[in-house]
Chain A
Amino acid sequence: MCATVRPYWRLFVAGVRQQSTYRLAALGGLVTNATFGFLKAAMLFATVEAAGGELRGYDVGAMSAYVWLSQGLLGSVNLNGRTDFADRIKSGDVAVDFARPISPQGAALAGEVGRAVFTLVPRGLPSVAIGALVVGMTMPTSPGPYLLGLLSLLVGIVISHATAYAVNACGFWLVETRGVQVLYMVVSGFLAGLFVPVAFFPSWLLRIAEATPFPSMMMYPIDILSGRIHGPSATGLFGIQLGWLLVTLAAGQLLTAAGRRRLEVQGG
């Protein structure tokens, strides 16, 4: 493997292994996801039925796919804004990161994404399985959407962690980033399409959402994976995701470089 990539790959693997040591927490997360999944399904199915069985392109089967995919992704897509990196700035452990011959941003993201990808196993897949078995959901019948959908999902996970990283890099200036995290959590869940599909937004709100990276974290991967958006439109969404990936990574890198110039290591 290329020498530049190997450290980050190793940190990704370490993230996977770290996460795999917390099985009980994963089970707890799954139970919570499923509980809220049933609530969300009940409300959104009622909405679709009240609209005459179809609302903005969603019938009950498509809505079910949306509900269970979004619940399944919740453990992996970072919509709560919390990152280890923020804690490391606050405690001063970030000094250790800067003493290594790698990018602190790359190292932080590799670990977070590793943990997120592993979380798909105990939380993502069972969540989708529950939806498919108990409620039933409309999914594509050809392999194409799954292939692009998985790529889109992976990119969505990375965008979410890259954005959370950039937000938490404000800790170089603020030290305490809980306020920013809460703001991120409120905005991201809504605009990423966690509560209702972005297609339900009024057009002005839709335009706002589309001007942020949030739909690229969760809504677009779900649209592609469930086959609701397919063909060239799906490829287009994926292209938008790649754009946001570059933007969020660049933002994090700039903030890290600027933050380092004014870094004051906390706690001596």
Chain B
Amino acid sequence: MSIDGPDIVIETTGLTRVFTRRAGRGLRSLRRTALTAVDDLTLRVDAGEAVGYIGANGAGKSTTIKMLVGILVPSAGSVRTCGLDPVRDRRILARHVGVVFGQRSQLWWDLPVRESFAILAAIHRLRPSDATAREEELVARLEMGGYLDTPVRQLSLGQRMRAEVAAALLHRPRLVILDEPTIGLDVLSKQRLRQFLLAERAAHGTTLLLTTHDMGDIERLCDRVVLVDHGRAVHDGDLAGLARTVGARRELVVDLLAPSPDLVGIPHTVHLMSDGGGIRQRLAFDADATTAAQVLAAVASRAEVRDLTIEEPDIEDVVRRVYEASGRDR
């Protein structure tokens, strides 16, 4: 369908968006300052990928998404989504993309949920038989049967979010973009939504781009993470790689046969704590400089090991480190 070939769903090169802000009050408000929300972003997402697009508030996530679907016009750089120019081909592109803005609604507030689906089916020019089949599928998978005839304004947040997701997926988009879809949801609602999204991907091979502050979303749904900071992509890879970039350490917990002195001085490790007079000890090690096997060998040379566990860095912690490292001006 384009020179890019059908397999690249998102491709940006040097994508940049600058907003002008008025500074000061009254007459002084004529002075303007430029704020670069997205800065020289180069990103490629292939068909079928599930990408977590994460970053602190104000990092430029939503602005990127809005440029990907042609809502915002880039200041510089290029963007192609589903092989199309989002600004020029906005309306054609909208048929291939489904977007959920977690804090906005695309449903008709005064009307029953069913009615919103019917309107959206018409907007996307679905054939009535296709629309009915798809609606039935979504209603069953998202368990919405109980409130199809309820006006949207009377739904709970969890019910409404499921309806929002269904509304975005009604036209079987190739690319689904979810901007904080689990914001404000309880644990059970989040879990349901994630299960649905996994099943939807498995069934239709949908490409997924997800922004969230919920690391559970990323861990369950995404096989790739792009971290943005001040409008720039500072990491692009898997979660483990992200942990390495911020120097997050893996931890080795050893249970020893007998109480032993603290295991200090092992290269590239830090002794964190000892329990039971030294029966259980916790060591943090730098995974780039050493390996679990080397650390274990060093430990075994000093004491006899009965059992061990290795703990991976906590993703929340990893992200907090990134935000803290660069976001002191927020």
Q: Output the nearest chain A residue to B124 by Cβ-Cβ distance.
A: A101
B63 → A minimal CB distance (Å) = 8
**B19:A98 contact, CB within 8 angstroms:** no
Considering the complex, which residues of chain B in the window 136-162 have a beta carbon less than 8 Å from any beta carbon of chain A?
Answer: 151
Counting chain B CB atoms within 10 Å of each CB, which of A6, A96, A263 scores highest?
A: A96
Range for the number of chain A residues in contact with chain B: 20 to 34
Q: Output the nearest chain B residue to A107 by Cβ-Cβ distance.
A: B123
Alpha-carbon separation in the docked complex, A93 to B101 (Å): 9
Q: Quick check: is B199 within 8 A (CB to CB) of the other chain?
A: no
Alpha-carbon separation in the docked complex, A99 to B69 (Å): 7
A10-B122 contact in complex given A99-B71, A101-B94, A265-B71, C-beta closer than 8 Å: yes
**A95:B71 contact, CB within 8 angstroms:** yes
Q: Output the nearest chain B residue to A98 by Cβ-Cβ distance.
A: B71
Q: Please pick, from A17, A96, A107, A265, the residue contacting B72 in the complex, using a CB distance under 8 A.
A: A265
Q: Please pick, from B72, B106, B111, the residue contacting A14 in the complex, using a CB distance under 8 A.
A: B111
A260-B73 contact in complex given A3-B125, A6-B122, A10-B119, C-beta closer than 8 Å: yes
Q: Quick check: is A102 within 8 A (CB to CB) of the other chain?
A: yes
Q: Quick check: is B118 within 8 A (CB to CB) of the other chain?
A: yes
Q: Output the nearest chain A residue to B94 by Cβ-Cβ distance.
A: A101
Q: Mark A244-268, 1 if CB is under 8 A from B, else 0.
A: 0000000000000000111111011
Q: Quick check: is A100 within 8 A (CB to CB) of the other chain?
A: yes
A100-B104 contact in complex given A261-B73, A264-B19, C-beta closer than 8 Å: no
B323 → A minimal CB distance (Å) = 17
**B115:A268 contact, CB within 8 angstroms:** no
Q: Mark A105-137, 1 if CB is under 8 A from B, else 0.
A: 001000000000000000000000000000000
Q: Output the nearest chain A residue to B125 by Cβ-Cβ distance.
A: A3
Q: Output the nearest chain A residue to B106 by Cβ-Cβ distance.
A: A96
Q: Output the nearest chain A residue to B108 by Cβ-Cβ distance.
A: A14
CB contacts (< 8 Å) of A260 on chain B: these are 73
Q: Output the nearest chain A residue to B99 by Cβ-Cβ distance.
A: A99
Q: Quick check: is A18 within 8 A (CB to CB) of the other chain?
A: yes
Q: Quick check: is B91 within 8 A (CB to CB) of the other chain?
A: yes
CB contacts (< 8 Å) of A67 on chain B: these are none
CB contacts (< 8 Å) of A17 on chain B: these are 110-111, 115
**B104:A96 contact, CB within 8 angstroms:** yes
Q: Quick check: is B66 within 8 A (CB to CB) of the other chain?
A: yes
CB contacts (< 8 Å) of A95 on chain B: these are 66, 71, 101, 104
Considering the complex, which residues of chain A in the window 13-38 have a beta carbon less than 8 Å from any beta carbon of chain B?
Answer: 14, 17-18, 21-22
Q: Please, how many residues of chain B have a CB less than 8 angstroms from a CB on the other chain?
A: 32
Q: Please pick, from B66, B106, B110, B123, the residue contacting A102 in the complex, using a CB distance under 8 A.
A: B123
Q: Quick check: is B55 within 8 A (CB to CB) of the other chain?
A: no
Q: Please pick, from A6, A9, A96, A103, the residue contacting B101 in the complex, using a CB distance under 8 A.
A: A96
Q: Output the nearest chain B residue to A88 by Cβ-Cβ distance.
A: B104
Q: Quick check: is A61 within 8 A (CB to CB) of the other chain?
A: no
**B94:A99 contact, CB within 8 angstroms:** yes
Q: Quick check: is B92 within 8 A (CB to CB) of the other chain?
A: yes
Q: Output the nearest chain A residue to B97 by Cβ-Cβ distance.
A: A99
**A7:B62 contact, CB within 8 angstroms:** no
Q: Output the nearest chain B residue to A260 by Cβ-Cβ distance.
A: B73
Q: Quick check: is B90 within 8 A (CB to CB) of the other chain?
A: yes
**B123:A7 contact, CB within 8 angstroms:** yes
Considering the complex, which residues of chain B in the window 153-174 have a beta carbon less than 8 Å from any beta carbon of chain A?
Answer: none
A13 → B minimal CB distance (Å) = 8
Q: Quick check: is A169 within 8 A (CB to CB) of the other chain?
A: no
Q: Mark B53-92, 1 if CB is under 8 A from A, else 0.
A: 0000100001000100111110000000000000000111
**B115:A14 contact, CB within 8 angstroms:** yes
CB contacts (< 8 Å) of B201 on chain A: these are none
Counting chain B CB atoms within 10 Å of each CB, which of A95, A99, A261 scores highest?
A: A99
Alpha-carbon separation in the docked complex, A95 to B67 (Å): 11
Q: Quick check: is B321 within 8 A (CB to CB) of the other chain?
A: no
**B94:A263 contact, CB within 8 angstroms:** no
CB contacts (< 8 Å) of B72 on chain A: these are 263-265
CB contacts (< 8 Å) of B213 on chain A: these are none
B149 → A minimal CB distance (Å) = 13
Alpha-carbon separation in the docked complex, A48 to B99 (Å): 60
Q: Output the nearest chain B residue to A95 by Cβ-Cβ distance.
A: B71
Q: Please pick, from A10, A11, A101, A263, the residue contacting B71 in the complex, using a CB distance under 8 A.
A: A263
Considering the complex, which residues of chain A in the window 221-235 have a beta carbon less than 8 Å from any beta carbon of chain B?
Answer: none
11 contacts between A and B (CB under 8 A): A17-B110, A17-B115, A21-B151, A95-B66, A99-B94, A100-B94, A101-B94, A101-B125, A264-B72, A267-B103, A268-B103
Question: Footprint of B on A, CB under 8 Å?
Answer: 3, 6-7, 9-11, 14, 17-18, 21-22, 92-93, 95-96, 98-103, 107, 260-265, 267-268
Sorted from nearest, which 10 A-B pairs have the closest CB atoms?
A: A10-B122, A101-B94, A98-B71, A7-B123, A101-B91, A18-B110, A96-B106, A99-B99, A7-B122, A101-B95
